[in-house]
Amino acid sequence: MTPRKHVCHIVPPYLMQRLDPGCLDKDNGFRAARAEHLTAVIAQRPAPEAGDTAAEAGDWTVYTANNGTDLPGEKVRAAGEPESGDESVDEAATGITGSLALFEEVYGRDSYDGRGIEVVMTVHYDQSYANAFWDGKQLVFGDGDGKIFQRFTKAVDVIGHELSHAVTEHTAGLVYQGQSGALNEHLSDVFGSCLKQRLLGQSAEEADWIIGEGLFTESVQGVGLRHMLEPGTAYDDPELGKDPQPAHMDDIYDGTDDNGGVHINSGIPNRAFALAAKAIGGNAWDGVGKIWYAALTGGAVTTDADFAGFAAATVAEAGEHAEAVTTAWSEVGVTPAADSPAPDGEEQGPTVVKVRRSGGFLGRTKEGVAELSPSAAQVATVRNLVSGAGAPSQPKGADRYVYEFEVDGQTAVVHEGDLSPELHAIANELLES
């Protein structure tokens, strides 16, 4: 029942294909080789046993792959240690320190899992590797090909972007496909840009809103990978082509490339965020950034959320800035979904969650129902289940229970052997009520 994890790269596949078709084949092979790792979500690891030493807040370690592909590689520098003299290592250290500080000091989040897990990073990955990615366990950065791209640690927002993929994976878990995947990419650009602006001390008005500034070599006609405020204008180069990002829903990409356009269509919510930031004023990380973070982590955003659903979640969290946020989404052609939480603190009616347990040794059936707040964690958990049900759960052993969960008129059947701890707790709570 766990959604399939994807390796999240900063450079979109349509650019990689232009630069080196073999590079994309290599990345696809890498994804397949690491698929077993990606199915194990770090957030589901058990808590440390008594006596274990948990990672301290802000813990990180930088490794080098020495231009090989074995991960994590050779340890070079850890939190609290002096500079190494290796540009990539020390840039990674600066970027991750700033990223962790942003999430902890501004949003109250202790590392990407919310529990202070150590961040592992590897630099000097492969030879002339023109990309950076989060693989479900760690951050990885290449040195660039020297022709189009320089080293990927050079742009601090790239480091913030990749760490934010880990945050999204451990919160809303947005599926890396279509509009939900574009939101996944969008949120990484949001917090990567907030990091850059915070380190530079820039207001939303002063910011350049460019993602990956400084990655291109001097030979490239472009300013960066993406332009959040003006999507489609980041580059126009004979070899790279023109930046394909749309700035409005009228021009949304509806093809199958790039996992349904996750890097392409992220331009639409990117522009909405930048417009909202400028309208609200002040510092983006401390203003509109808090609204977006609250939407991501508040329980209203499902794994397959679309732009309208996420827009509604941001409006619901915007308080006195609800009108500015609504207007920003309107300017990119997105109307917040009507069935999402109401803005300005208006109360919605309760959400009905049902569970039906059948089977077992006695073959008995028992039902439970509860009326919960729409923002309750149990509601979000069951919504995520029914929205991403996919292939049906299969029996695992004889005489075990079968559970049917229902919310918003949608249902999903889960056999006892596939029941997560969260769903098990919800079932017990409802069946005992």
* Residue 263 annotated as catalytic: yes
Cβ(125)–Cβ(69) under 8 Å? Answer: yes
- Intra-chain end-to-end CA distance of the chain, in Å: 26
The encoded tokens of residue 232 equal 């489609």
Written as one letter, the residue type at 418 is: D
Q: Does the annotation mark 170 as catalytic?
A: no
Distance CA 56, CA 244 (A): 42
Comparing C-alpha atoms, which of 215, 223, 225, 323 is closest to residue 270? 225
Question: 401 forms bridges with which residues in the sheet?
Answer: 359
Catalytic pick among 6, 9, 263, 321: 263
CA distance 285 to 318: 14
Which of 9, 161, 162, 317 does the annotation list as catalytic?
162
Active site residues: 162, 263
